[in-house]
Protein backbone atom coordinates (compact mmCIF):
# COMPACT_ATOMS: atom_id res chain seq x y z
CA UNK A 1 0.00 0.00 0.00
CA UNK A 2 1.21 3.49 -0.85
CA UNK A 3 1.87 5.90 2.00
CA UNK A 4 -0.49 8.88 1.81
CA UNK A 5 2.32 11.43 2.10
CA UNK A 6 4.08 9.87 -0.91
CA UNK A 7 0.99 9.15 -3.00
CA UNK A 8 0.42 10.59 -6.45
CA UNK A 9 -2.87 12.41 -7.11
CA UNK A 10 -4.19 9.32 -8.91
CA UNK A 11 -3.32 7.11 -5.93
CA UNK A 12 -5.07 9.53 -3.57
CA UNK A 13 -8.21 9.40 -5.71
CA UNK A 14 -8.07 5.60 -5.68
CA UNK A 15 -7.67 5.58 -1.90
CA UNK A 16 -10.64 7.90 -1.47
CA UNK A 17 -12.76 5.71 -3.73
CA UNK A 18 -11.84 2.54 -1.82
CA UNK A 19 -12.42 4.28 1.50
CA UNK A 20 -10.97 3.79 4.97
CA UNK A 21 -12.14 2.04 8.09
CA UNK A 22 -14.40 4.24 10.19
CA UNK A 23 -12.35 3.72 13.33
CA UNK A 24 -9.35 5.16 11.45
CA UNK A 25 -11.25 8.43 10.96
CA UNK A 26 -12.18 8.51 14.64
CA UNK A 27 -8.53 7.97 15.54
CA UNK A 28 -7.46 10.76 13.19
CA UNK A 29 -10.00 13.03 14.81
CA UNK A 30 -8.59 12.30 18.28
CA UNK A 31 -4.96 12.61 17.25
CA UNK A 32 -5.51 15.93 15.47
CA UNK A 33 -7.85 17.17 18.19
CA UNK A 34 -10.50 17.91 15.57
CA UNK A 35 -14.17 17.12 16.19
CA UNK A 36 -15.34 13.98 14.39
CA UNK A 37 -18.13 15.97 12.77
CA UNK A 38 -15.53 18.15 11.01
CA UNK A 39 -13.67 15.10 9.70
CA UNK A 40 -16.90 13.55 8.40
CA UNK A 41 -17.94 16.88 6.90
CA UNK A 42 -14.60 17.27 5.11
CA UNK A 43 -15.27 13.90 3.47
CA UNK A 44 -18.83 14.84 2.63
CA UNK A 45 -20.26 11.99 4.70
CA UNK A 46 -23.30 12.58 6.95
CA UNK A 47 -22.54 11.97 10.62
CA UNK A 48 -25.29 9.34 10.99
CA UNK A 49 -23.95 7.39 8.02
CA UNK A 50 -20.39 7.57 9.33
CA UNK A 51 -21.41 6.47 12.83
CA UNK A 52 -23.43 3.56 11.41
CA UNK A 53 -20.48 2.40 9.31
CA UNK A 54 -18.08 2.73 12.25
CA UNK A 55 -20.37 0.61 14.44
CA UNK A 56 -20.70 -2.01 11.70
CA UNK A 57 -16.96 -2.04 10.97
CA UNK A 58 -17.58 -0.90 7.41
CA UNK A 59 -15.47 1.26 5.12
CA UNK A 60 -16.21 4.98 4.73
CA UNK A 61 -15.48 6.74 1.48
CA UNK A 62 -15.87 10.39 0.65
CA UNK A 63 -18.57 11.82 -1.53
CA UNK A 64 -16.70 12.96 -4.61
CA UNK A 65 -17.80 16.33 -5.90
CA UNK A 66 -19.78 17.25 -2.80
CA UNK A 67 -18.20 20.19 -1.01
CA UNK A 68 -18.09 20.23 2.78
CA UNK A 69 -21.01 22.20 4.23
CA UNK A 70 -18.57 24.68 5.76
CA UNK A 71 -17.52 25.68 2.22
CA UNK A 72 -21.03 26.26 0.90
CA UNK A 73 -22.00 29.82 0.36
What tens digit of pLDDT does each residue of 2-55 get?
Answer: 566 677 888 777 777 778 888 888 888 888 888 989 888 887 888 898 889 889
Hey, where are the domains in the chain? 20-62
Of 68 and 11, the one with more pLDDT: 11
- The residues with which 30 forms a beta bridge, in sequence order, are none
Residue 65: pLDDT band with limits 50, 70, 90: very low
Contact indicator for 19, 59 with CB cutoff of 8 Å: yes
Of 70 and 45, the one with more pLDDT: 45
Its pTM stands at: 0.59
Amino acid sequence: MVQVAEATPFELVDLERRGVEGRFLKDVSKRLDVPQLHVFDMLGVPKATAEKKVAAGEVISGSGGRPPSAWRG
